[in-house]
């Protein structure tokens, strides 16, 4: 590899690499500034620069890389899955169901998206494939909160260990829809005051800077406990997660890397950081 | 946000306290702020560079007016460049919406990444064509990947009150497309909307598959459906779909959110294809016409 001096031009290129990976201008600048202080003027290869940059980013991500705490003894541990439209909530529930079942746990799904066409049937198919019981509404357009109440009551009776509650996609700036989500939580708490034990916000890696707004509002409105980032098998890098880590410090539990039930991985700071700067 | 850019540019020009014409140094200083504003709105980096180059050419040497602040003058130049890049302004033909000027049944192919809003938009287009243009529309789902995708489109067809292609298990997307066009011809449909599975731009097999569907059905419109929240990857997606499939128009969904929608600019710049429609909600009537000036204002935060 050819060595080159880490000069202003090289630093600018680095900043652009980070911006192109969706870190946003502010986070990209902060990282490059740190880099300037320690390494400016040194002779380095491209690979060395990238590796060092990845390390810097991994250090930012490491504190938020954490598995989702799970207490099956709660029978059930309730996970409420939320997010804007089309990010991958329903598919992520299927993936979690698969993973927990492989770990020997008894899972059930709640088809809480009573709004979108065939959302219930979508989850039902995933339930069949992953061996999870699916609590579905009795009729179309039923109340999601009522369904969650019934499902949790049934889950307590039948020994379900993990109850994964799907919700309809909703944009964070729609207050009526966000209020509806709060109602689901209130009703769940009537059955079990400690529930939901996890509120998982699902983000799409293709999303740019708007993810900051999504996390801010969902966190305020429904006490998000952690994040999952989907669609990382694509060309999008998901760099906004770095800005999210710096701004909110919410744990990132999972990454989605495909459309199949097996395509869920733990979030690993180092791997993620290397992906961002274009190192395999 | 627009306020933010205005006040930043005001700050820049206060600092410079220039009179006479805008120098290259003045403009460069201002463009640094413009660059940040565009990047924060998710306009892709290469597109930002082209745009700022254009603005630099136009702004340097411009006489500072008494009646307007230099910041406002620069913003106007940026805004005009944005509107043009989005297909508005001088070269604007004024043509909007879908082009159905072809022998019936006119095929419309819907393509895009997973979850971008293709199926919902298919339903919305059917509703619009049925009500506004009294067209007889057939909806057909070629999505054999996502669980219940075909049922989703069939449900939407019922809500809209148009026909959907009967679901036959085990067919390939190519077979479904052929059956849809055949039914379209036999039963004298005006338009056949072919909804496809979401696919990643880097998924060679699936990109080939949709290219084959396109070759077999020769759609009059191939609509790339993109989410307004899309970030920098918009350029990669747009380039891949344009190269491998060919795109005649762009539909941007979820403009009912608060994303600034810079992806519209990136996609338009890369494909050269016009933005034809906007998705503004989950309901079937939430489909809007595209106005370059409104999206330009949104990107700048107006
Ligand atoms: N490539 C890829 N596709 C994914 C991933 N996760 C989900 N998808 C796809 O994204 C699309 C949307 O996924 P869903 O699970 O239906 O998303 P959702 O958030 O439940 O959507 P709504 O309920 O409509 O808001 C589907 O086509 C999924 O197959 C992933 O990690 N990688
Ligand atoms: N708020 C809002 N939601 C939308 C809009 N268009 C689509 N959606 C929602 O986005 C989600 C995904 O829409 P789909 O139509 O299933 O997306 P798709 O591209 O067909 O998804 P795949 O087939 O899985 O690739 C659903 O929850 C829709 O209701 C829009 O303009 N605004
Ligand atoms: K990736
Ligand atoms: Mg869903
Ligand atoms: Mg679809």
Residue B147 to chain A, least CA–CA distance (Å):
5
Average pLDDT, rounded, for chain B = 93
Asked if residue A1 has pLDDT above 90, the reply is no
The CA distance from B249 to B268, in Å, is 9
Closest B-chain CA to A29: B36
**pLDDT, tens digit, 9 for 90 and up, residues A20-45:** 999 999 999 999 998 888 877 888 88
- The per-residue pLDDT for range A118-159, each reduced to its tens digit, is 999 999 999 999 999 999 998 877 899 999 999 999 999 999
As a whole number of angstroms, the distance between CA A154 and CA A167 comes to: 18
Q: Which of chain B's residues have a Cβ under 8 Å away from the Cβ of A24?
A: 39-40
Q: Is residue B98 over pLDDT 60?
A: yes
pLDDT, residue B11, reads 78
Indicate whether A166 pLDDT > 50.
yes
Confidence category of residue B97, pLDDT binned at 50, 70, 90: confident
Instruction: Convert the pLDDT of each residue in B127-153 to its tens digit.
Output: 999 999 999 999 999 999 999 999 999
Across the interface, whether the CB atoms of A240 and B39 are under 8 A apart is answered no
By percentage, how much of chain B surpasses pLDDT 70? 97
CB B116 less than 6 A from any atom of ligand 2: yes
ipTM of the complex: 0.97
Decide if pLDDT at B36 tops 70. yes
Distance (Å) of CA B299 to CA A165, B23, B296 = 36, 26, 5
Map residue B67 onto helix, strand or coil.
coil
Say which residue the tokens 């991958």 belong to.
Answer: A88
CA A265 to CA A252: how far, in whole Å?
11
User: What is the distance in angstroms between the Cα of A85 and the nearest Cα belonging to chain B?
Assistant: 8
Structure tokens at B192: 């056949």
How many degrees, rounded to 5, is the angle at CA B173 between CA A204 and CA A97? 40
User: pLDDT at position B18, please?
Assistant: 59
Residues whose CB falls within 8 Å of the CB of residue B138, separated by 6 or more in sequence, listed in order: B105, B162, B163, B164, B165, B180, B183, B184, B187, B189, B191, B192, B193
Q: What integer pLDDT is reported at residue B1 of this predicted model?
A: 43
Note the helical H segments in chain B: 2-16, 24-40, 45-59, 70-85, 118-133, 149-160, 173-186, 204-217, 234-244, 262-271, 292-300
Instruction: Return the pLDDT at B17.
Output: 63
What chain B residue is nearest to A257 in terms of C-alpha separation?
B200
Residue whose structure tokens are 């057909």: B140
Quick: pLDDT tens for A72-93: 999 999 999 999 999 999 999 9
Question: Rounded mean pLDDT of A213-236?
Answer: 98
Looking at residues A102-123, what average pLDDT do you find? Answer: 97
B181-196: average pLDDT: 98
Rounded Cα distance between A17 and A39, Å, is: 17
Q: Check CB contact of A229 with chain B, cutoff 8 Å.
A: no
Sheet holding A226-230, edge to edge: A133-135, A107-110, A162-165, A77-82, A198-204, A226-230, A252-256, A264-266
- What lies within 8 Å, CB to CB, of A269 at 6+ separation is A58, A59, A61, A62, A64, A65
């Amino acid at each position: 590899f050819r060595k080159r001096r880490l000069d202003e031009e090289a630093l600018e290129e680095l900043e652009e690499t980070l911006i192109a990976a969706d870190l946003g201008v502010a986070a990209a600048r902060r990282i490059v500034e740190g880099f300037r202080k320690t390494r400016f003027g040194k002779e380095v290869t491209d690979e060395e620069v990238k590796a060092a940059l990845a390390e810097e980013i991994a250090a930012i991500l490491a504190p938020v890389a954490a598995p989702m705490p799970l207490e099956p003894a709660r029978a059930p541990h309730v996970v409420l899955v939320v997010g804007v439209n089309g990010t991958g909530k329903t598919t992520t529930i299927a993936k979690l169901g698969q993973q927990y079942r492989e770990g020997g746990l008894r899972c059930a799904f709640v088809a809480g998206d009573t709004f979108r066409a065939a959302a219930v049937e979508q989850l039902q198919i995933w339930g069949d494939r992953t061996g999870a019981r699916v609590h579905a509404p009795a009729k179309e357009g039923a109340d999601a909160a009522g369904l969650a109440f019934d499902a949790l009551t049934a889950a307590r009776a039948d020994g379900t260990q993990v109850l994964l509650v799907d919700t309809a996609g909703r944009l964070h700036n729609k207050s009526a829809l966000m209020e509806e989500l709060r109602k689901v939580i209130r009703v769940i708490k009537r059955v079990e005051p400690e529930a939901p034990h996890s509120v998982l916000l699902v983000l799409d890696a293709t999303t740019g800077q708007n993810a900051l707004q999504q996390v801010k509002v969902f966190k305020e409105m429904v006490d998000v406990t952690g994040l999952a980032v989907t669609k990382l098998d694509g060309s999008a890098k998901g760099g906004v997660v770095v800005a999210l880590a710096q701004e909110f410090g919410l744990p990132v539990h999972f990454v989605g890397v495909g459309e199949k039930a097996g395509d869920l991985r733990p979030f690993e700071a180092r791997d993620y950081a290397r992906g961002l700067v274009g190192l395999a | 946000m627009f306020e933010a850019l205005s006040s930043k540019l005001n700050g820049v020009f206060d600092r410079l306290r220039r009179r006479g014409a805008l120098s290259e140094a003045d403009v460069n200083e201002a463009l640094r702020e413009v660059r940040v504003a565009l990047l924060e709105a998710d306009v892709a980096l290469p597109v930002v560079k082209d745009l700022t180059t254009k603005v630099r050419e136009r702004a340097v040497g411009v006489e500072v007016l008494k009646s307007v602040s230099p910041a406002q003058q620069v913003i106007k130049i940026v805004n005009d460049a944005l509107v043009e890049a989005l297909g508005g302004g001088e070269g604007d033909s004024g043509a909007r919406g879908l082009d159905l000027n072809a022998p019936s049944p006119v095929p419309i192919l819907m393509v895009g990444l997973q979850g971008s809003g293709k199926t919902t938009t298919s339903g919305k287009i059917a509703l619009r064509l049925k009500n506004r243009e009294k067209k007889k529309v057939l909806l057909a789902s070629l999505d054999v990947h996502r669980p219940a995708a075909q049922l989703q489109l069939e449900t939407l067809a019922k809500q809209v009150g148009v026909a959907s292609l009967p679901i036959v298990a085990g067919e390939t997307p190519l077979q479904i497309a052929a059956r849809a066009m055949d039914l379209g011809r036999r039963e004298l449909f005006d338009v056949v909307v072919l909804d496809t599975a979401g696919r990643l731009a880097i998924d060679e097999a699936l990109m080939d598959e949709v290219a084959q569907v396109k070759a077999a059905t020769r759609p009059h419109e191939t609509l790339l459906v993109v989410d307004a929240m899309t970030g920098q990857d918009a350029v990669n997606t747009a380039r891949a779909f344009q190269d491998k499939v060919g795109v005649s128009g762009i539909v941007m969904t979820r403009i009912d959110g608060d994303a600034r929608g810079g992806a519209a600019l990136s996609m338009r710049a890369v494909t050269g294809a016009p933005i034809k429609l906007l998705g503004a909600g989950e309901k079937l009537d939430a489909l809007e016409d595209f106005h370059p000036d409104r999206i330009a204002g949104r990107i700048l935060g107006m």
